[in-house]
Structure 1
Amino acid sequence: MATGATFEEARQEISKVASRLFGTEILVAYAPERVRFDPRPVTAEPRPDLLPALAHAFVSATERALSQGVLHDYRETRDTLPVVRGRIRHADQIRRRPGVPVPLEVLYDDHTPDIPENRLLLAAVRRLLRVPGLDPDQRGALGRLTARLDGVSILPTGAPAPQWTPGRRNARYSHALVLAELVLRGASYELGEDGPIAVEGMFVVMWRLFEAYLARAVGEALRHRVGGRPEPQDRSHFLDAARKHVLKPDLVHYLPSPHDGIPRPAAVVDAKFKTKPGRDDLYQMTAYCVRLGLGEGHLVYASGKEGVVEVPVGDGRLRIWRHVVDLSSPWRDLAATIDALAETIDTARAASAA
């Protein structure tokens, strides 16, 4: 964008990026909770399939959800057995088998993976497996998820999506479940002015969507690259000693300390959905780095120029990187950009620690 552009020109440039981005749905795939659906119909262009970007995000989120094991819960089960399990349903026993001691009509609590959360995930996996154009890696990953969900009932054709209630028990499933609902909803359309079909509208605040996408995508790329623990929207650090002013970086990546093995901040990233960097961004990132004890900070913009700013801090220097992620890129190119960004962040971390 040319120097001296007006606010309206900047807004229009970002709107163009956003409109192209909606065609790929990749931000929505990574941060579906940032989208609010509206039952009022809007026109749209039909899509022949769900985009592979959605499959990629769903597979990644589901693998993370199942990394600690498949969620189980107790379910009341009525059964006919040759031995007692749980308690005997005496009324049913007398009515169905008067005077016959076995088999027994029993009622027991079964600890099972066949619960709404897992049924929803399996239904989404099976839906995505029917999508043409998936690359072999994605299709193989979906097949492995099917095997992990062994013992879970298949959702009958035409049946509504299983209902689930967010809570502490299924917290690690939450992102994958929201994506599964998006898959079963049939997020296979492009918003347009003269489309032949009517679909639910959706409202997004683009800067919030960009922040959530970037934090999850970069955090995931860093975790695959160097391990550790990414914390999107980390709110565990404070600017002041009285802990009244919380810091709000979009991503803090933790790695075990080489001295004691305790996870400590290794990188901090903040997303800026704007076309031109500002001084406030530098002030903000400087505060993050100082409080987190880091020598490098990373600002990621939706447009603009890349560069590095060196900030004197005490007897040393703090380096603040400006990166650009082109949201108008095809999703495969965008994924490659995220991987390259993670590599740059890790290389800068290693150099700073040396």
Structure 2
Amino acid sequence: MSQATITVREYARLTTETIDSSLDRAQVPSTAFDWLCKLSSSFSKSGAALVHVEDRRWLCLDNFVGVLETPCGTRLEILPKHFESGDCVSESRRLLRRMIQAALDLPSREVGDADLELFDAPLSEWIMHRFLQALDHLVKRGVRFDYQRIEEEQRFLRGQMDIVKQMRQPPGRAHIFNIRHDVFLPDRPENRLLKSALEQVCTSTKEPENWRLANELRSLFLEVQVSSNITQDLRQWSNNRLMSHYQSVKPWCELILKKQMPLAVAGEWQGVSLLFPMEKLFERYVAATLRRALPYDAKLTTHAASEYLCTHNGGQIFRLEPDLLIQHGQERWVLDTKWKRLDAADRDNKYGLSQGDFYQLFAYGKKYLKGKGELVLIYPRRMAFKKALEPFEFDGEMRLWVLPFDLEAKSLVDHEATTLPISSHITEEESVNYREVGT
């Protein structure tokens, strides 16, 4: 089965007709086209939309990013639609990797973005590469073995004899000894999960360097069985101090095994399919960045759920869940993230802002801020939206800011104009001391 990688970006259009492919439109095999249609129907049943069918000849992708592998071997790489010039593919890949690593709080042994620059491969290959690096580091420090009690029948004595069982032996089997002894084996839940992830990498990777390292590590795990119950083994993963060197590989292992995905494609076809809703990924990336920029005594709650829009028959109804809620002392700020392009020069079309978003923020402000304070809408920074818009006044005591978030610099632009307790320079010690509160 041949395999081709097709690289596009959000909202790209796919067809089976012969066309000049680009990031916004591409030709796919008819088998991949039909499979995507079936996959989209399963998504629609759960309320999500992966693609939209146009004229039965075109598929329009939604705002998901990541990798999809079809049964026919076609690998579809979907990148963020953010960069407008230059090498959009390399820059978009680098941005997506950085956002995934920050949003999922994945460990990194490298300093800075050097690894992102050197390994310019599709997203799935990068994830497998990072997993193999972490596993190689673990193996060099030593795979954890444990003693396991074995009870068996043998013609020789070893360990302890089970006297009760031995006395019950029939006369014809008196020469067979019932013994129990301990064997030092690597058969632990953690190692079974690593073996399962490693087997998946060995069969999925197309990068020569990944393939070489994966098969080298595979030979070191010959004594380990693959996990027969991934969910149970994940629950049994030990976090004690003797297993501390396993912690850096765990998130990558979970990522490979599709247990920590915001959205993973599951079903009969078990290819490399890792999808991320871009709206959620942007929200988590902003939250992870602000977490490091807040003072240690500030609290950031994601998806606060303590307020409701109204009451009905003695109970509360219509829960209000802002993306981010910051509390510092007695002050509060409500923030919402939107993965959408704004145009600061397009005043006639309200810059691309949604009236529904303003209604929503107004309700948040009335309930969470008691009608007094600052609200913030955060959009990605781009050439047409480089600085904050002039504030929007709801009334004399509640104000809404629309701020750009610089994805490259990892900073909230013009936050100084607000009263947000965000530091432009934060020490590593302060970042470590901060703890996120909420779900």
Which of the five TM-score ranges fits, normalised by the shorter chain? 0.3 to 0.5
Structure showing greater Rg: 2
Q: How does the TM-score come out when normalised to structure 2?
A: 0.36
Q: How does the TM-score come out when normalised to structure 1?
A: 0.44
Structure number with the higher helix fraction is 1
